[in-house]
Chain A
Amino acid sequence: MSPRKARAMLGWAYLLPYASLFVLFVLVPIVVAAYLAVMQFDLTSPKSAGFVAFRNFADAWRDEYLQRAFVVTAKFAAMMVPSLVVVAFALALGLNAMPRGRNAVRAMVFLPTMFTVAVTGILWQWFYNLEFGLFNFVLKNLGLAPVPWLSDKNIAMPSIVLMSLWWTSGGTAVILLAGLQNIPRMFHEAASLDGADGWRGFWSVTFPLLRPVVLFVVVTNLIGAFQFFPQAQLLTGGGPELATRGVVQYIYETAFNGYRLGYAAAMSWMLAAVVAVFGFLQFWLMRKEAS
Chain B
Amino acid sequence: MKGRWVLLVAMFAVGLLFVAPMVLMVLTSFKPEAEVLNPESAIPKHWTLQNYLDVLNWSEEAPFVRWLMNSVLVSSSVTFLVLVLSSLAAFGITRVRVPGGGAFFYLVVASMMVPGLLFLVPVYFILNSLRLLDTPAALILPAAGGGFGVFLLTQFMKSLPKAIEEAALIDGCSWLGVYYHVSLPLCAPAMATLGVLTFIGSWNDFVGPLVYLDSIQNYTLPVGIALYQASYYTEYGRTLATSAMATAPLLLIFAIFQKQIVESMSSTGLKD
Contacts and interface: CB of A to CB of B under 8 A. Distances in A.
Do chains A and B directly touch (beta carbons under 8 Å) in the complex?
yes
Interface residues of B, number: 89
Given A25-B123, A122-B243, A30 B111 contact: yes
Given A11-B98, A178-B269, A114 B117 contact: no
B185 interface: no
A11 B268 CA distance: 28
Given A30-B114, A271-B115, A98 B269 contact: no
Contacts of B190: none
Contact of B18 (A18, A111, A265, A269): A111
Interface of chain A, main secondary structure: helix
Nearest to B200: A114
A271 B116 CA distance: 11
B118 A265 contact: yes
Contact of A174 (B10, B19, B262): B262
Given A104-B15, A107-B262, A116-B206, A255 B121 contact: yes
Contact of B269 (A101, A107, A126, A176): A176
17 contacts: A10-B96, A11-B99, A15-B93, A18-B89, A30-B119, A30-B122, A100-B8, A111-B22, A115-B22, A115-B247, A117-B222, A121-B229, A126-B240, A251-B117, A255-B120, A271-B117, A272-B115
Interface in B92-130: 92-93, 96-99, 101, 104, 107-108, 111, 113-123, 125-126
A19 interface: yes
Interface of A: 7-8, 10-15, 17-19, 21-22, 24-30, 32-33, 36, 91, 94-95, 97-101, 103-119, 121-124, 126-127, 132, 134, 137, 166, 170-171, 174-179, 182, 213, 216-217, 226-227, 230, 248, 251-252, 255-256, 261, 264-265, 268-269, 271-272, 275-276, 279-280, 290
Contacts of A91: 14
B113 A116 contact: no
Contacts of A94: 7, 10-11, 14
A256 B101 CA distance: 38
Contact of A106 (B97, B107, B204, B262): B262
Contact of A18 (B86, B121, B200): B86
B126 A25 contact: yes
Contact of B92 (A11, A251, A269): A11
B226 A118 contact: yes
Contact of A119 (B4, B39, B84, B247): B247
